[in-house]
Structure 1
Amino acid sequence: MAADSPPLAFQPAGLYPQVSLPNVLLRLLNYHPEKGTCTKSWNDVTVAILIAACYVLLRNYLYKHVFPILADRWHVPRSPGARSKFAEQTWLLICHSSTFIVGAILMIGKPYASCLWGKREGYHYFWIGYPQTHRELDPVFKLFYLTILGYWLHHCYELVTEGLNRRAFERAKAQGQTNIPYAHNRSDFWALALHHAVTVSLVVVSYFMNWTKGGHVVIVLLDVADIFLPLAKILKYAGHSTICDITFAIFTLSWIVTRHWLLLLVCVTIYSDSLVYIPEGSRHWDPWGEGCFYSMKVYWLFLGFFGTLQVLLIYWLAMIVKVVVKVVRGGAAEDIRSDDEDDEDFVLEDNVKQKKPRAPKALGMGQSESKKSASARPKAKRTGSGVELRSGHWDTVKEGELRRRR
């Protein structure tokens, strides 16, 4: 590729300033300057992994140096659960807000943009001309798609790390250790792990099989609710309960509309429209020959992924309904997915775990001999002239000792 590659621009002409990308990045994206588009290559794996690593590094930096300052400024309680959740939700709010804004901008002027408000005609563009006119991507859009993949890969890494840390936390807690690094606990850990696996699979499969238009719509739809939920939680940790409840109500409405209506329309277009708009001669698997991907096995694979995703979303919808019912009855919106309240024996003071003192328990059969012998010794009761033993005997006290005690 020539060193003076033409600058890159968004698709809708005249709406955005031209965006230039470094030549090194253009090479990684497999950019063809004569066409102004990119094709897929094995470099895409490298780009996605590099983006995931950048997410991990940025997340760790913000967790250590930025989010604690925000937590102090917004008077978030200095408890392990509140501080950890506040940092997590702030990170999610930043990430999903950014991807939603960029994804929405990239969708302006696209013929399938009408999918965002449920117009059935927009979904037809997922399949019209497939796969011939879907193979090459605008460089900015391709970078956006790989960024989404890197984001979810980073999420998988963080979830695995969180699970390992929680196991270490529970093991150390059972051993009676006090200086234990905090580890978040989730009641829906395995459901979340399955969700991440399905999401990464959908991004990879949709990208490899040139179904990026449909993937673009799904990304933007899923980001809507993922903005309001972290915002509601942040408001709760900051002590703004009323605004938190209002934001949670907006989140609930956006969840139902985007994930149980508009996303269901995506499933419908896969089930019905794909078999109408893709010619029967192109419905076979030949990616390295004719460039065809959409066989009947792929058809059922897509439906299986989206069906699994819907089951998980319904599971979380049931949790959301529980919170809504609690709010209607006069309670506050809370994250019922967390089990951190089970860790009441551990508090955070100056970023160090310390165990709360417990009331002494009655001596039992499992005591050591030293404790038994100590309890068996005759206990003394002080009197005016000496020490009276409970055994009934009297013991004289030296005159100097008696004066010292008086």
Structure 2
Amino acid sequence: MTILRSFLDWFWNPDVWLPPGIGWNDIKPTEKIKYCDYGDLLYPIPAALCLICVRFIVEKTILIPWGQCLGLKKSHKTFASLPHNEELENAYRKSRSKLSYKEMEVLAKKTDMEVRQIERWIRRRLAKDKHTTLTKFSECGWRWICYTASFGVGLYVMWDKPWFWDINHCWYDFPHHGVPDDVWWYYVFGAGFYLSLLITQAFDAKRKDFWQMFVHHLTTISLMGFSWVCNFIRIGTLILIIHDCADVFLEAAKMCKYAKYDKLGDVIFAVFTLLWIGTRLGVYPLYVLNSTLIEAPKIVPMFPAYYIFNSMLIILLVLHTFWTYYILKVAVKAIVSGKVIHLKQISLYNLKFFSKTKN
């Protein structure tokens, strides 16, 4: 217990987490004012589990039937008649598509099949395991619902907050910022949602940017938790609402693509592209980062946690730039090749790219 106590005292050193001259007792919650409490970091865990359960119900009762009404199929018809073979099935589960030629020769002897037939069976088995368009549609639908709800609630919660209109209020009298109940719930929902995305990422349709999105979700959750402990709650709410804005249209555009409403998807994706560039590469660096990196030091004495917080914000900006680079790369390549002329066609190419690369 003595060792644990010493470690906790070292870890929660106020000289690291808080501005000079401020101790934990100075921002301890009271009956009159509610400050951020590190114990509240546990609430996003049950929130995430609840969201996963709600997602299962919503997908089964609303999104999947909706997709079927739009003509999406529940299974791969082409591979529905794939003959079952216990030997091949066991080998497939152990090594997936990584069977060597010698291993397939051994299987050929056991099953009285040719190696070419086994190769064809494995290809069809892999294709059967792929997520259907209906599954991808329902996954996008769930994220669209959550992003829409989060952005709508965020606007409602933030509309009467002074720091929403003047970002310097994020630093005035810091860290003596109480947390209103509506902001508390907004933060818990946001953290729970991103935690649920991190948990379910392993089960959702696999994307080529799996690890980039994993880092994104992990960074976002860490950033929210870190900002809560340091009472950077005001700047955290601004970051949340900025990020939710464009994602609403991305998920809607992908749903349109899966349902083959390409023209509508083009229009929505064009709106998304403008919002993405405007918020992720415009408002975020020029408004938020400018405030945290340049304006904040003029108002608040600096401390170690401040630099860690800004490092996380910069990682998010790097990820934004990474994704924007590939959007523009695909668009430029299409224009140079002469395959794209109009904006709606450019957005269609980007939409195809993002349906492969973003959750």
| Superposed displacement of residue 65, structure 1 | 2.9
Does the C-alpha gap of structure 1 residues 241 and 301 become closer, same or farther in structure 2, counting only changes over 3 Å? same
TM-score (norm 2): 0.68
1:370 matched residue in structure 2: none
- Residues 66-104 of structure 1: CA distance to partner in whole angstroms, max 9, x if unpaired? 221010112235554311210111011100000101110
1:365 matched residue in structure 2: none
Does the C-alpha gap of structure 1 residues 247 and 324 become closer, same or farther in structure 2, counting only changes over 3 Å? farther
2:111 matched residue in structure 1: none
| Superposed displacement of residue 150, structure 1 | 1.0
1:151 aligns with 2:193: yes
1:173 matched residue in structure 2: none
Unaligned runs of 5+ in 1: 1-29, 115-121, 163-182, 284-294, 341-406
Matches of 1:206 and 1:315 in 2, distance apart? 24
Number of residue equivalences: 264
Matches of 1:300 and 1:39 in 2, distance apart? 22
Unaligned runs of 5+ in 2: 1-27, 77-130
Counterpart pick for 2:289 among 267, 272, 294? 267
Matches of 1:197 and 1:48 in 2, distance apart? 14
Q: Could you tell which deviates more after superposition, 329-338 or 83-92?
A: 329-338
Q: Is the 8 A contact 1:76 1:239 kept in 2?
A: no
Q: Is the 8 A contact 2:29 2:36 kept in 1?
A: no
1:302 matched residue in structure 2: 309
Alpha-carbon RMSD across the aligned residues, in angstroms, is: 2.3
1:255 matched residue in structure 2: 276
- Residues 96-131 of structure 1: CA distance to partner in whole angstroms, max 9, x if unpaired? 0001011101111222223xxxxxxx2211111101
Structure richer in strand, relative to its length:
1
Instruction: State how 1:150-229 maps to structure 2 within 5 Å.
Output: 150-159=192-201, 161-162=202-203, 184-229=205-250
Q: Is the 8 A contact 2:243 2:280 kept in 1?
A: yes
Counterpart pick for 1:76 among 69, 72, 88? 72
1:103 aligns with 2:147: no
Larger relative CO (CA 8 A, sep 6+): 1 or 2? 2
Counterpart pick for 1:62 among 58, 64, 67? 58
Matches of 1:104 and 1:323 in 2, distance apart? 33
Does the C-alpha gap of structure 1 residues 302 and 47 become closer, same or farther in structure 2, counting only changes over 3 Å? closer
Does the C-alpha gap of structure 1 residues 65 and 109 become closer, same or farther in structure 2, counting only changes over 3 Å? closer
Structure richer in helix, relative to its length:
2
2:262 matched residue in structure 1: 241
Matches of 1:199 and 1:62 in 2, distance apart? 25
Q: Is the 8 A contact 2:34 2:179 kept in 1?
A: yes
1:113 aligns with 2:161: no
| Superposed displacement of residue 339, structure 1 | 5.6
TM-score (norm 1): 0.61
Q: Is the 8 A contact 1:188 1:337 kept in 2?
A: no
Matches of 1:87 and 1:67 in 2, distance apart? 5
2:321 partner letter? I
Q: Is the 8 A contact 1:77 1:237 kept in 2?
A: no
Does the C-alpha gap of structure 1 residues 322 and 241 become closer, same or farther in structure 2, counting only changes over 3 Å? farther
Percent identity reads: 27
Q: Is the 8 A contact 1:187 1:338 kept in 2?
A: no
| Superposed displacement of residue 143, structure 1 | 1.5
Q: Could you tell which deviates more after superposition, 224-233 or 150-159?
A: 150-159
Instruction: State how 1:133-148 maps to structure 2 within 5 Å.
Output: 134=177, 136-148=178-190
Matches of 2:298 and 2:29 in 1, distance apart? 33
| Superposed displacement of residue 52, structure 1 | 0.9
| Superposed displacement of residue 338, structure 1 | 5.5
1:130 matched residue in structure 2: 174
- Residues 200-228 of structure 1: CA distance to partner in whole angstroms, max 9, x if unpaired? 11111111111111111111110111100
Matches of 1:255 and 1:88 in 2, distance apart? 21
1:350 matched residue in structure 2: none
2:320 partner letter? L
